[in-house]
Structure 1
Amino acid sequence: MRLSREITLFAIGGVGGLVVDAGIVQLLVGIEDWNPYLARVLSFLLAATFTWWWNRRHTFAARRSNRAAHAEWLHWVGLMSFGAVINYGIYVLLLMNFPMLHRWPAVAAAAGSAVAALVNFSTARGVLFKATKTSS
């Protein structure tokens, strides 16, 4: 698959992940009155699960990880943790510097997600889904 197509599909999956991430964090903070920092941990795990599913089915469908699904998911979450550190760091930095975002944490989540997407694509493609599938 061409790199540009993979980038496009990764971006589509990323938008889906952002909807899951931002939607869950906003729901937990705005309606359930959760701490915005703890809410983001749960929203990240749910979003990472969605993006793993999307990317293995669509973005990297022509590639393989040579792992069982559960091991692949664990590796995915581990790799996405690099991007998550960047993502969460930006999220916290924005919340600390712009207190109004405590009412709208989805905005801070979106900013963190956008920056981390570059790291996430590189690690997903270059580490986990690096082998191309061959037809037998």
Structure 2
Amino acid sequence: MTRLRQELVGFAAGGLLGLAIDASIVQGLVAWAGWHVYPARAVSFTFAASFTWWWNRHVTFRHRRSGRSVHAEWFGWVVLMSLGAAVNLGVYVIVLKLFEGLQRWPAVAVAAGSAAGAAFNFASARAALFSKPKSQP
């Protein structure tokens, strides 16, 4: 398998795990804690984004480096993912507005938003953050 294909598979796996974290938290906060769907999503997205940074750093792009400290890399991840997050969250809002019945099932809107932002997130992570190959030992 080519390195690009391995990275795509790793990114997709991390994204699916991040989606599970995101959807579980937002659904739990709405259904069991009575939160409104938007603040619940802010919390769930923060947890999911932090997990996906960790996953991509250690799994997807393990053969690449950013050349930054861990904290700077995490911050860079958050900054780079902002556009993808805007797409993600925008689609989430649009889906909830178009299909009001999903207010009780926001995890469906989370999935739509996550799919919409994934391609941008992969390309920007690979090209801008994890752009340098690690030196071979």
**If the length of structure 2 is used for normalisation, what is the TM-score?**
0.97
Q: State yes or no: 1:42 paired with 2:43.
A: yes
| Alignment partners' CA distance in 2, 1:81 and 1:101 | 25
| Alignment partners' CA distance in 2, 1:80 and 1:43 | 15
Unaligned runs of 5+ in 2: none
Shift of residue 80, structure 1, vs aligned partner: 1.0
Q: Report SS of the residue matched to 1:61.
A: coil
User: Which residue does the alignment assign to 1:73?
Assistant: 74
User: Which residue does the alignment assign to 2:132?
Assistant: 131
| Alignment partners' CA distance in 1, 2:47 and 2:61 | 20
User: Which residue does the alignment assign to 2:57?
Assistant: 56
Identical amino acids, percent of aligned pairs: 54
| Alignment partners' CA distance in 2, 1:42 and 1:15 | 18
Shift of residue 117, structure 1, vs aligned partner: 0.3
User: Which residue does the alignment assign to 2:4?
Assistant: 3
User: Which residue does the alignment assign to 1:85?
Assistant: 86
| Alignment partners' CA distance in 2, 1:77 and 1:45 | 9
Unaligned runs of 5+ in 1: none
User: Which residue does the alignment assign to 1:109?
Assistant: 110
Q: Report SS of the residue matched to 2:136.
A: coil
User: Which residue does the alignment assign to 1:28?
Assistant: 29
Shift of residue 71, structure 1, vs aligned partner: 1.0
Shift of residue 45, structure 1, vs aligned partner: 0.7
Aligned positions, number: 136
User: Which residue does the alignment assign to 1:17?
Assistant: 18
In structure 1, what residue type is equivalent to 2:14? G
| Alignment partners' CA distance in 2, 1:114 and 1:68 | 29
RMSD of equivalent CA atoms: 0.9
In structure 1, what residue type is equivalent to 2:127? G
| Alignment partners' CA distance in 1, 2:94 and 2:122 | 23
Shift of residue 81, structure 1, vs aligned partner: 1.1
